[in-house]
Amino acid sequence: MCITLCSGDPTMYEKYWQQMGDKTKVVINGWQFISYFSDVSRVCWFLEPEFANSIIRLHKLVGNAITEDRYIVVGTGSTQLFQALLYAVSPPNSSEPISVVSAAPFYSSYPLITDFLKSGLHKWAGDAYTFDIDKPYIELVTSPNNPDGFPREAVVNKKQGILIHDFAYYWPQYIPISSPADHDIMLFTVSKSTGHAGSRVGWALVKDIEIAKKMTEFIVLSTIGVSKDSQIRAAKILQVVSDSHQYKVDFKEGQAFFEHNYNHMARRWKQLRDAVNMSKLFSLPDFPSGSCTFSGRTFESQPAFAWLKCKGEIDDCESFLRGHKILTRGGKHFGGSEKYVRISMLPRDETFDQFTERLSSINSS
């Protein structure tokens, strides 16, 4: 049977939430959330106040982003927010679409999303390292990066650049939190922080009110707001995550969310590195060690994806692994080399165990 690790489906988190039992149970009555509107006094009028509060509380606790003097815009996942941002920051009346770039290897959906409607507002212009035109551009900075897990900073650094910081993975189970991120435009998502991908909820922290307004306009035209049911559920979940660290007495030993899932990721990375060492056909990136302001721990990144390289004569790593019934996403999709594949580190335990077992048994014979 094939082991599917192409998408980043975060089912690893199911077990933790099962252990939490009733704590994150949400009850919604038939007469609630009928209206399109959540709070008309906000720029983003479809943002549920409860969800906004839970976001601010969690960022303050973790220390991974500044929320002061920012507008919060909620989206149907950070995928929608990314598109809302492209719309919000692209010059509306330019004679040609603005260039959108990101340093390779970059998230494989960025080029597809930027271009699929053949928009006259923006167009994908590829690897930021090779971008060298003196015109306005948008640079996507994903840190830590999807697919390779490294921390990132902007690389083009020209005057007319607009930066979008995608912090989907800037959480202490994956990487040491070095300081609160303090950029003009920052993206986060529930999918990768708590694992609730099925709820389709993300948020943006945005300094400029005009950008927040145009993002809101995009989301109104795109979907007339964001599911209230999912916002209410996400609010509850983020509150429980914060509670699990701030009111430990109400939780069992080792159940603080980031602690528990840091340990889970650490075990998985050790297991993967052991398998890679056994096989000798592959290699993995080495991450610098860093001190985490949240946990006080010093550790090497343990990303949500592994950027695995096939060594030696294997040129197409995706096909090679497919031959061994391991389905991954090849490096080419990320603007990188075919010698690499991206592997999800967030499947259920059974799948991950099967995967490392199968990987370790692949050898050159």
How far is residue 90's CA from residue 160's CA, in Å, rounded to a whole number?
A: 12
Q: Which of 52, 62, 72, 113 binds a copy of itself (CB under 8 A)?
A: 113
Instruction: Specify the pairing of strand 326-327 against strand 3-4.
Output: parallel
Applying CB under 8 A, the span of 25-33, 138-146, 147-155, 255-263 interacting with a copy of itself comes to 25-33
Q: Which of 54, 145, 230, 344 binds a copy of itself (CB under 8 A)?
A: 230
What's CA 187's distance to the chain center, in Å? Answer: 8
Q: Which of 29, 41, 363, 365 binds a copy of itself (CB under 8 A)?
A: 29
Tokens of 221: 């035209």
Q: Is 316 in the site for a copy of itself (CB under 8 A)?
A: no
Q: Is 224 in the site for a copy of itself (CB under 8 A)?
A: yes
| Contact present, 175 and 59 (Cβ < 8 Å) | no
Tokens of 311: 């060594």
How far is residue 145's CA from residue 307's CA, in Å, rounded to a whole number?
A: 10
Q: Which of 68, 112, 130, 160 binds a copy of itself (CB under 8 A)?
A: 112
Q: Answer positive or negative: Cα dihedral of 352, 354, 356, 358.
A: negative
CB of 237 to a copy of itself, least distance (A): 6
Q: Rounded to the nearest 5°, which phi and psi values hold at 15?
A: -60, -45
Beta bridge partners, 329, equal: 342
Contacts with a copy of itself in 198-217 (CB under 8 A)? 198-201
Residue closer to a copy of itself by CB (options 112, 209) is 112
- Looking at this protein, which amino acid is placed at residue 349? D
CB of 30 to a copy of itself, least distance (A): 3
CB of 285 to a copy of itself, least distance (A): 26
Applying CB under 8 A, the span of 9-17, 137-145, 166-174, 320-328 interacting with a copy of itself comes to 9-17
Residue closer to a copy of itself by CB (options 115, 338) is 115
What's CA 38's distance to the chain center, in Å? Answer: 26
Residue closer to a copy of itself by CB (options 67, 109) is 109
